[in-house]
Structure 1
Amino acid sequence: MKDRKTKSKLILIVSWAAVLFWMGLIFYLSAQVASQSDELSQGIAERLFGVIAKIIPGVNGDFLLSNFVVRKSAHFLSYLMLGLLTTNALRRSGVKGVRHLVIAIGICVLYAISDEVHQLFVPGRSGQIKDVLLDSGGAIVGTALHRLFERRE
């Protein structure tokens, strides 16, 4: 019984550590000045286009559009992951029913708002309400996916 309790506590700690790590990663990426952030996005877009071009020969896309898509997809996917991690941590903390979903979404939305406020103080960056909405959408999808996986168990 003691081993089971210890294992459960360890899983709980790791679950919340994953949430904090992911939040730290989001903060780190948001703290990059505009040129640094744009360079990262362009590199990802170039690699992505390289892969797509190998799969679909002759594909031609607008590079600026692809960079835009990469940047906005990063918002959505990073908060989707945060939603998954936060929902999991709350569930493992014993929050039951729909409450863990609502609380997880609330945490993610508040973090998205704070992230955009943070970007107001980073050279060349700006805080945008549409990014908060995109982040929130990702978080909602992440919590919904967690709920879906949870029901399958």
Structure 2
Amino acid sequence: MFKVISWVAVILWMALIFYLSHQPAGESSELSSGVTALILSIIEGIVPAAVNVDFDIFHFYIRKGAHFAAYFVLGLFVVNALYASGVKGLRSVLVALLISVLYAASDEYHQTFIPGRSGEVSDVLIDAIGSATGIVCYLLAVKLKHLGTVRLLRKR
């Protein structure tokens, strides 16, 4: 059952990415501008004097950070689903990265058909780095969990 749930999480996350990519440029920019404004207002509330940020530059980094974050989660979900399916080790890393990068490339291609949007190779690279980071974090968590289990067993 866990295997099925893991793959459903992958598919649902891919669907969310597709949905967000399918928004015309105006809607997408409006959403990310709102997120940017919210983050800036939170920062200003914490450190009022420290914020002297160009909104457009910050907005650019928020958009690129969203790419990284979305594919970080996708990398986590894909490698988790592969582990749940019995694919482990280097093979899980390579397959998870391949799935994530192919999806990123197909998503950027898909955006070329959306009014005001474009497909960017740089976004695929950011997505790939996000996926790789998510995969590595997952593997580190598995390793730490295993080390903790081994230590518990040794204490008995």
In the superposition, the TM-score normalised over structure 2's length comes to 0.91
Which of 10, 17, 20 is residue 8 of structure 2 equivalent to?
17
The 5-angstrom pairing of residues 41-52 of structure 1 reads 41-52=32-43
> Which letter does structure 1 place at the counterpart of 2:77?
L
State the alpha-carbon separation in 1 of the partners of residues 141 and 55 from structure 2.
Answer: 36
Counterpart-to-counterpart distance in 1, 2:18 and 2:56: 25
Following superposition of structure 1 onto structure 2, how do residues 1-153 of structure 1 map, counting pairs within 5 Å? 10-58=1-49, 59-153=51-145
C-alpha distance in structure 2 between counterparts of 1:106 and 1:40, whole Å: 29
> CA separation in 2, counterparts of 1:97 and 1:48?
38
Deviation at 1:96, TM superposition (A): 2.0
Deviation at 1:41, TM superposition (A): 0.5
1:127 is aligned with what amino acid? G
Letter in 2 for 1:38: S
Q: Aligned partners of 1:87, 1:42: CA distance in 2, in Å? A: 32
Q: Normalising by the residue count of structure 1, what TM-score does the alignment of the two structures yield?
A: 0.93
Q: How high is the sequence identity, in percent, across the aligned residues?
A: 48
Quote how far apart the aligned CAs of 1:46 are.
0.3
Offset at residue 116 of structure 1 (A)? 0.4
* 1:117 shift after superposition: 0.3
Q: How far is the alpha carbon of 1:21 from its aligned partner?
A: 0.4
Name the amino acid aligned to 2:82.
L
CA RMSD of aligned residues (A): 0.6
Give per-residue Cα distances to partners, 1:76-104, cap 9 Å, x unaligned. 00000000000000000000221101100
Task: Point out where structure 1 has 5 or more consecutive residues left out of the alignment.
Answer: 1-9
Amino acid of the residue matched to residue 101 of structure 1? V
Letter in 1 for 2:47: I
Q: Distance in 2 between matches of 1:22 and 1:110?
A: 15
Task: Report deviation, 1:66.
Answer: 1.2
Residue 60 of structure 1 deviates from its aligned partner by 1.5
- CA apart distance, 1:62: 0.4
